[in-house]
Amino acid sequence: MEHKENDIIVGLDIGTTKIACFIGKRGENGKVIILGYGKCPSTGVARGVVKNIKSTSESISKAVEEASEKAGITVREVYVGIAGQHIKSTQSMGSIVIPNEHQFIEQEDVNRLIDEQRNILLGPGEEIIHIFPQNYVVDGEELSPDVDPVGVAGKQLKSNFHIVTGNTMNLLNIHSSVERAGLVIKGVVLEPIASALAVLDNADKDAGVALVDIGGGTTDIAIFHEGIIRHTSVLALAGNAITFDVKEGCKILKNQAETLKTRFGSCLPQNVSENDIISIPGIRNQQAREISMRTLAGIIKARTVTILEQVDYEIKQSHLDKHLIAGIVLTGGGAQLRHIKELTEFTTGIDTRIGLPNEHLDKSSDPELSNTMYATGIGLVLYGLEHEEDLERENTDIPNEEPEAEAAQEQTYTMPPVFDQMPPMPDETVFARYNEAEQPQTSSVDFEQVSGKDKKGEKKSKRNKSFGKGFTNAIEAYFNKVFNDSTIKNEGEE
C-alpha cells in the first residue's frame, strides 16, 4: 500500500535504555495507525543525555532501519523526544500593545506575544524548547481558559508563560546524533508532553492530572489543569536506579538484575510469599544463587519509594496537588512494576492509574504496542500529526485575496430603466455657463479676510456663490430636459 509522504510521521524516542522509532499515520477513525516500529539498545545515552554521539547515531540508524523495513517507507524527517536532568522550567510574563488598525486581537498578535518570550534572560548555555501560555489578560480583565483571545476587542494583551529550557550543548549533541544518522529533525518535543498525548484525553487535562513517566534514566512529570500544561520537571532517578540496587543487593549481573526486576519484581513485600525462591545461575563454576522474592521486593520498594517521594514533592511544589481530580497517571517502562499503583497511592495519597497508549491506537496496530514503555514513541507520532494538521489549518485559513479582487472587477452595475434611456451628457450644453476664468483660485487668507473686512475677499466670496448657483442651475436644467424628453418619447411609443 502506497502512502503520501506528507501523511506519514516518524517519532524517535532517544531514551537511556533504548532508542525506539515509530512510523505512523492518521486513520479514518481519527486514531493512529503504526505502520512500523523498531528499537535498539541505547549505548551512548546516560540519564537522558547524549554522551557519545557516534554510539547514539549508530543505535538510531538501527532502530530507524528496522521501522523503515516494516513500514516499507524511507525515513527522512523525524520528531525527536528529549528529556534528561538538564531540562528546566521557568515562569515569565509578557505584554504587548495591539496596533490601532486591529479592531480586535488577531492571531498574529498572539504569536508576537509568544515569540517575544524568546528574548527573556536565560542562564548560561540554556535554550528554550517550549513556551506554554498559562492565561490571557485583555485590558486588565483575565479571560477564562476556554476563551480564545483571538477575536476579543482590546488594546493590551498580557499572559503568564511556562517556559521549558534545555542545555544548549545537550541539544546540539542530539541534533548531531540524528544528523549523523542521515535524518532531519522536524521538531524537538519534551518527552512527558509526548507521553501525555498517548495516554491522556481532554477530560483528564481539564479535570487536573499529573503524568508520571518512569523511564530508564529519568522520571518525567507533566501536570495539567483546565486543559493547560502547568508544571514540568525531570528527576534523575528512574528504573535503572532500581536495577542497580537489585544488582548490588543480590550480588548478580546487571542483565540478571533487570530480568529479575521485570519478571519477578514487586513493590510490596507483604504481597509476596516468604517461601518463593528464585535461583540465579552462577558465573562459570560458581554455585547458583538463591534469592527470596520477598527480599527482592524489599529492595525494589525502597528505591521506588524514594522516586515517588520526589514525585510527590514536585506535585506539591506546583501547588496543584488539591486540583488533581484525575489523579496520577503512571506510564513508561517503570510503570510495569507490579503493585506500583498501590505504592504510589500510599506514598502520595492521590488516586493513581496505569496509562496505556492503546486508547489512541487503531485496532490494526500491533497489540504489542499497547505497552507503557511505548507511550513516548507513540506520543511523538501524535504530536507530529497534530503539528502538521495545525500548519495545514493555518494555511487553509489564510484568505486568498486575488480571486476576491478578480470577482470585484467582474461585478457590473445595472442602471435603472430611466437612466438607461438617458442620452450621453454633452459637455458643451451642460457646462455652457461654467466659465473657467471665474473658477476660484486657492490662496492663503488671514483672519480679516475670512471675517469679511477685505473688499477683495468679499468680491471673491460673491463670485464663488454666483458660480455655484450657476452650476446648480445648469445641472437642474439638463435633468429637466432629459426627463421631459423621456416622457415625450414614452408617450410617442404608446
Return the higher-pLDDT residue of 302 and 418: 302
Q: What is the dihedral of CA 114, 120, 124, 126, to 10 degrees?
A: -10
pLDDT band at 462 (very low <50, low <70, confident <90, very high): very low
Check residue 84 and give its pLDDT.
Answer: 86
Q: Using the predicted structure, report yes or no on whether residue 438 has a pLDDT greater than 50.
A: no
Distance CA 282, CA 359 (A): 43
**pLDDT over 80 (residue 35):** yes
The answer to whether residue 137 scores a pLDDT higher than 90 is yes
For residue 42 the three cell numbers come to 541505547
Q: Are strands 32-41 and 18-26 parallel, antiparallel or unpaired?
A: antiparallel
Would you kindly state where each structural domain of the chain is located, as residue ranges? 421-493
Residue 114 corresponds to which cell in the numbers above? 509568544
Pairing relation of β-strands 18-26 and 219-225? unpaired
Residue 481 pLDDT:
57
Average pLDDT over residues 443-452: 41
What is the pLDDT confidence band of residue 472, given thresholds at 50, 70 and 90? Answer: low
Backbone conformation region of residue 172, classed left if phi is above 0, alpha if psi is from -120 to 50, else beta: alpha
Helix H or strand E encompassing 301: helix 293-317
- The pLDDT score that the predictor gives to residue 419 is 37
Q: What cell numbers appear for 200 in the block? A: 491522556
Tell me the average pLDDT across 425-451: 42
> What pLDDT does residue 473 have?
62
Task: Tell me which DSSP letter residue 361 carries.
Answer: B
Task: With cut-offs at 50, 70 and 90, classify the pLDDT of residue 445.
Answer: very low
Quote the pLDDT of residue 131.
95
235 touches 307 (CB < 8 A): yes
**Average pLDDT for residues 411-438, to the nearest whole number?**
42
Residue 175 has pLDDT above 70, yes or no: yes
Q: How confident is the model at residue 440 (pLDDT cuts 50, 70, 90)?
A: very low
Lowest mean pLDDT, pick from 146-150, 158-162, 371-375, 438-442: 438-442
Residues 365/25, Cβ–Cβ less than 8 Å:
no
**Residue 457 backbone dihedrals phi, psi, to 5 degrees:** -65, -35
Provide the grid cell at 334.
Answer: 517503570
Residue ranges of alpha helices (H) inside 216-292 are 239-250, 254-264
Task: Give the SS3 label for residue 78.
Answer: strand
Strand partners, 138: 141, 157
Instruction: Cell numbers for 473, please give them.
Output: 442651475
- pLDDT for 274 equals 83
- Number of Cβ within 10 Å of residue 382's Cβ equals 25
Burial (CB < 10 A; 0-12, 13-18, 19+), residue 400, is exposed
141-142/156-167 β-pairing = unpaired
Alpha carbon distance 295, 282 (integer Å)? 19
* pLDDT over 50 (residue 159): yes
Tell me how far apart the alpha carbons of residues 150 and 343 are, in angstroms, rounded to a whole number: 45
Extract the runs of DSSP E, i.e. beta strands, from 306-450: 328-331, 352-354
The region of weakest confidence among 21-25, 102-106, 361-365 is 361-365
Q: How many CA atoms lie within 13 A of 13 on its CB side?
A: 34
pLDDT digits (tens, 9 = 90+) for 87-101: 999 999 999 999 999
353 Cβ partners below 8 Å, 6+ apart?
327, 328, 329, 330, 341
> Are the CB atoms for 290 and 278 separated by under 8 Å?
yes
Q: What was the pLDDT predicted at 487?
A: 45
- Per-residue pLDDT for 117 more than 50? yes
pLDDT tens by residue, 233-279: 999 999 999 999 999 999 999 999 999 999 999 999 999 988 899 99
Q: Which residue in the block uniquely carries the three cell numbers 498501590?
A: 342
Give the pLDDT of residue 350: 97
Name residue, grid cell 487536573: 208
Q: What is the pTM for the complete model shown?
A: 0.77
- What pLDDT does 167 receive? 93
- Residue 460: band (very low, low, confident or very high) from pLDDT cuts 50, 70, 90: very low
Residue 491 has pLDDT above 60, yes or no: no
Residue 415 vs residue 91, higher pLDDT = 91
State the DSSP code for 9: E
- At residue 14, the pLDDT reads 94
In the prediction, which pLDDT does 162 show?
96
Q: Are strands 328-331 and 352-354 parallel, antiparallel or unpaired?
A: parallel
